[in-house]
Amino acid sequence: MPDIAAQLEASAEAVNRFLEAQLLTGHRSPRLMAAMRHAVFAGGKRMRPFLVLESARLFGITGQGPLHVAAALEMVHCYSLVHDDLPAMDDDDMRRGQPTLHRAYDEATAILAGDGLLTLAFAVLASPETHKSAARRLRLITALSTAAGVDGMVGGQMLDLDAEGRFTPGARAKTLSARAIRRLQALKTGALIVFAVHAGARLAPRASRDEKRALKLYGEALGLAFQIRDDLLDSEGEAALVGKAVAKDAEAGKATFVGLYGLDGARNLLKVVSDKGAAALEAAFGERAATLTALMRFNATRNH
């Protein structure tokens, strides 16, 4: 079985080197760039960039193209964490074991640093080094903007806040159905993961319909499995290992899989979803997908 921890670390090092080069100060505001670096280099598994690089390898593609897409996606992800942590959103003081950006700096700097990361991500995607074909670059830009925006992550975040009763004075948290929670999390968490898994096919000269379908099924399953595991960690994880406060979801009345199914039910669902995603990928790619199927198993037991 592939050593996923070691492969994640190697992938993260490559992505970090690229991000270092993108976040040099030069003529830019030193405070803004320091804040953006705080957000980007706060640790983390770099799982989404890893998915980009590994999905590209399924089609024999390596080098600067996948690295550009991987780094752009990670900048979008890091921006989203900065904004999620703000007092107006989840109001978190710690992220990955260190102060959140608005605590380390201030709210205005945190907002602008997030904005900077989001827009820089699309500048990276638009670079000819991402792909020689302008049409391919445009498809990547369209796909990432959709996954990150109102039809993806941002839309999911709004559903999440609405479910807490944020927008009606005195309202209690809403009780969502299993279908509604799945839709919310598919947008909020899953959309960027599905984009990452599809990135390889978008860079490839050719991908079959069966291969694209398998990537879609795997990406959707991994996005769901990732959120279930996060919900379990929030309920039973240790803050020192998770790197942020735990048990906040229940306190805020958030719609979670643990709240809906209980701990044992969520664990069972995690196994079912993980097995389904791995099987879909194995059926289409066989041993070529060993690393990605191993990542599904890794997610099911991660502690942060």
Tens digit of each residue's pLDDT (9 = 90 or more) over 14-23 = 999 999 999 9
Q: How confident is the model at residue 254 (pLDDT cuts 50, 70, 90)?
A: confident
Helices (H) and strands (E) in the chain, counts: 15, 2
Average pLDDT over residues 66-95: 97
Q: What is the pLDDT of residue 43?
A: 86
**Structural element, H or E, at residue 82:** helix 64-84
Average pLDDT over residues 241-248: 54
E strand residue ranges, the chain: 94-95, 98-99
- Residue 244 predicted with pLDDT over 90: no
* Pick from 73, 116, 4: nearest CA to 105: 116
- Of the candidate ranges 12-26, 30-44, 248-262, 286-300, the one whose mean pLDDT is the lowest: 248-262
Average pLDDT over residues 163-190: 93
Fold of 4-301: Farnesyl Diphosphate Synthase (1.10.600)
Average pLDDT over residues 27-39: 98
Average pLDDT over residues 122-127: 98
- Residue 246 predicted with pLDDT over 60: no
Average pLDDT over residues 255-264: 92
Q: What is the pLDDT of residue 97?
A: 86
pTM (global) more than 0.75: yes
* Pick from 1, 41, 8, 2: nearest CA to 23: 41
Q: Are residues 193 and 51 in contact, defined by beta-carbon separation less than 8 angstroms? A: yes
Q: Give, as one character, the DSSP assignment of residue 99.
A: E
- Residue 240 predicted with pLDDT over 50: no
Q: What is the pLDDT of residue 243?
A: 52
Q: How far apart are CA 79 and CA 82, in angstroms?
A: 5
Three-point CA angle 141, 46, 33, nearest 5°:
70
Tokens of 240: 């020192």
As a whole-number percent, the residues of the chain with pLDDT over 70 amount to 94
Q: How far apart are CA 276 and CA 189, in angstroms?
A: 18
Q: Where are the domains of the chain?
A: 4-301
Please state, rounded to an integer, the average pLDDT across all residues of the chain: 93
Measured in whole angstroms, the distance separating CA 156 from the mean position of its chain's CA atoms is 13
Tens digit of each residue's pLDDT (9 = 90 or more) over 260-275 = 999 999 999 999 999 9
Residue with more model confidence, 154 or 236: 154
Q: Are residues 294 and 233 in contact, defined by beta-carbon separation less than 8 angstroms? A: no
